[in-house]
Structure 1
Amino acid sequence: MPRFLKRGVLLRSLAVGLALVMVSSCAVRTDQIARDPNTVRIAVNGWVGYEASAEVLANILREEMGYEVQLIRVDEQPSWQALDQGVMDVIVENWGHEELFELYGPDGNGTAVDGGPNGNEGVIGWYVPAYLAEEYPEITTLEGLKANTDLFRTAQTGDKGEFLAGAPGFVSQDQGMINAFDLDLEIVYAGSEAAQITEVRRRYANEEPVLFYFYDPQWFQEEVDLVKVDFPDYHEGCDADLDDVPCDYPVYDLNKIFRAGFVEEDDYAYRFLDNWKWTNSQQNEVAQMIADQGISPPEAAEIWVSENRDVWEKWLPEGHETR
């Protein structure tokens, strides 16, 4: 997971500060900049799964529906600001961000609309390889993990077990979970998500123990067989103190966020994006082509679209014919 580890808290303090200047007691719609009605502007946030979704949608909008599409690479929070300013039409994969919806949704500026689920379920957590869970079935429970942290000891961590993370710049609750559950673990950063995947793949090939942060949808889940460690379920407020988090990560029903003016236009492009839903496996299939097979994002999308007409034809709005 990119810098979107625990996306719901990422940049929260900045978002709250922006509320002072971007929301007044008399909310003002700022998204009414005129756009070419034949152009759809899609945010592309910085992880390959999101890119897979955006490229597939862009391919269908262009090749089957006759729209121009602008794919605009932008980080998560600026995507919302772009919707508010009227220069973006849709965010296709939102991971929570309740604080941003408060700023830009109906109770704030009124420029962002919850577009409903995109079909993906966002699951963040701690994972071990299936071969390790088969050998030590108890290791996927909190008590079983606590009793077996020595399995993950490395030369770097000494008497503590290693918990393999991505990059230190990621925001996460992992240290808070280690503290709250009194786990004899030390976080080791691979340096990046790509480096983390490379290391997990190496250990997986050798059937070595590894405990690491990961998530789904993620293309690597299609390559390896992983088992998620079971922690006490998330409940609201349990992650309020990131130094002491006695719960798992929340599960996100990932959703779409539309520019309010785009919804009001109610054209075929909006109805198509409103209809669109797909599964974690479908996203992972395209993302794996991009990240693991070296296929360019547009080509990966084209391959998937050509092989899955029975899936995407159901997303087309009533009354609109493909080319």
Structure 2
Amino acid sequence: MNVTLKTGIATIAIVTGMAAPAHADAIKIAVNEWTGQNLSAYIAGAVLQEMGQEVEYVTAGAVPQFAAIADGSLHFQPETWTNNVGEIYPKAVDAGDITVVGELGLRPLEGWFYPPYMEEQCPGLPSYEALYDCAQAFAAADTFPNGRLITYPADWGTRSNDQVAALGLPFQPVAGGSEGAMLAEMKSAIATEQPMLMMFWQPHWIHAEIALNVVEWDSSSPDCLAGVDQSRGNACGFAQASVQKIVSKDFADTWPEAYAFVESYELSNDVQNALIQRVDQDGLSVEEAVAEWMRDNEATWRGWTS
């Protein structure tokens, strides 16, 4: 997946405090750094346009976007992963400045993924306990003797770094430059059976192409994850997100028909994975993939507008 969008329609602006060219009545939809979210955003926008609404797409960082939605300069984010939202999001929701409309329908899994051949080099995997004894099997020249852990891009949050620090794991987190860079490194490592441990997620088309296993923790129960300080022997791993649709606080009053659509809008892992593959593997632009899906699934999207 390349996070440089192949887009040719819509007004694009970076949420950095700069004024974006805008129409007062346009619904501004947040566009983030990964293809799946781009597809969620552009499908929503295409349906809204079919309903007669004016739409603008605004590029926005996964965490900075929430301040813009809370102050009304952005209006709609169809794919909010709740375990990567920073501090602003829950406060804005509690204050009523952001409205959670419901879940999109995706069922995610996030964690530390590795290729199956690493289990020969690191006996004890998939348990995280094995990582204490075989960090050097994951080492690179710039991290030795510590293992190398590829994490999300820096502006996606620090959860992997926090996990390494909390558990005292002998690993050095290295931020991926982008989703596309992470995938390129993943494929390169696996092609030559080099060591690789990477924070990644599902749904994603890569899991249909490459076999990946995921590190297992002591517990993933809500009780363990609910504010418990993690330590060796009590490692909860990562809270698994729900994927929420959110809007600005005045959205329902300003665009009641659009709000009703947002309530009905849903996507499954299977639908999104197939669309991601059309973009990232087959070379379609996001708009082309969305137009194809809209053409082939009219009964589905019209059902969201009735």
Question: What corresponds to 1:196 in structure 2?
Answer: 182
Q: Secondary structure of the residue that 1:312 maps to in structure 2?
A: helix
Q: Which stretches in structure 2 are left out of the alignment for 5+ residues?
A: 4-22
Matches within 5 A, 1:223-234: 223-232=209-218, 233=220
CA RMSD after TM alignment = 3.4
Letter of the aligned partner of 1:118 in structure 2? L
The Cα shift of 1:79 comes to 3.3
What do the CA deviations read for 1:44-91 (whole angstroms, capped 9, x no partner)? 2233221110111122222x4333221122234553343344343311
2:247 pairs with 1:261: no
Q: Secondary structure of the residue that 1:209 maps to in structure 2?
A: coil
In structure 2, C-alpha distance between the alignment counterparts of 1:81 and 1:176, rounded to whole Å: 24
Question: What corresponds to 1:82 in structure 2?
Answer: 68
The Cα shift of 1:132 comes to 4.1
Question: What corresponds to 2:240 in structure 1?
Answer: 251
Q: Secondary structure of the residue that 2:226 maps to in structure 1?
A: coil
Of residues 271, 281, 288, the one that matches 1:282 is 271
Of residues 301, 307, 317, the one that matches 2:290 is 301
The Cα shift of 1:127 comes to 0.5
The Cα shift of 1:147 comes to 3.7
In structure 2, C-alpha distance between the alignment counterparts of 1:140 and 1:59, rounded to whole Å: 42
In structure 2, C-alpha distance between the alignment counterparts of 1:164 and 1:84, rounded to whole Å: 32
In structure 1, C-alpha distance between the alignment counterparts of 2:186 and 2:203, rounded to whole Å: 17
2:31 pairs with 1:44: yes
Going from structure 1 to structure 2, the CA distance change for 1:305 and 1:130 (only over 3 Å counts) comes to farther
Q: Is the 8 A contact 1:127 1:212 kept in 2?
A: yes
In structure 1, C-alpha distance between the alignment counterparts of 2:110 and 2:2, rounded to whole Å: 12
Seq. identity, %: 28
Letter of the aligned partner of 1:306 in structure 2? R
2:93 pairs with 1:100: no
Which one is further off, 170-179 or 88-97?
A: 170-179
Q: Is the 8 A contact 2:113 2:213 kept in 1?
A: yes
In structure 1, C-alpha distance between the alignment counterparts of 2:63 and 2:129, rounded to whole Å: 38
In structure 1, C-alpha distance between the alignment counterparts of 2:155 and 2:248, rounded to whole Å: 30
Going from structure 1 to structure 2, the CA distance change for 1:134 and 1:314 (only over 3 Å counts) comes to farther
Going from structure 1 to structure 2, the CA distance change for 1:77 and 1:126 (only over 3 Å counts) comes to closer
Q: Is the 8 A contact 1:239 1:247 kept in 2?
A: no
**Count of residue correspondences:** 279
In structure 2, C-alpha distance between the alignment counterparts of 1:246 and 1:190, rounded to whole Å: 24
Matches within 5 A, 1:1-323: 36=25, 39-62=26-49, 64-96=50-82, 97=85, 99-105=87-93, 107-108=94-95, 110-132=96-118, 138-167=124-153, 170-232=156-218, 233=220, 235-238=225-228, 246-265=235-254, 267-309=256-298, 311-317=300-306
- The normalised TM-score by structure 2 is 0.76
What do the CA deviations read for 1:193-226 (whole angstroms, capped 9, x no partner)? 3222111101222343321111233343343222
- The normalised TM-score by structure 1 is 0.72
In structure 1, C-alpha distance between the alignment counterparts of 2:77 and 2:113, rounded to whole Å: 28
The Cα shift of 1:227 comes to 1.8
The Cα shift of 1:133 comes to 5.0
Q: Which stretches in structure 1 are left out of the alignment for 5+ residues?
A: 4-33, 318-323
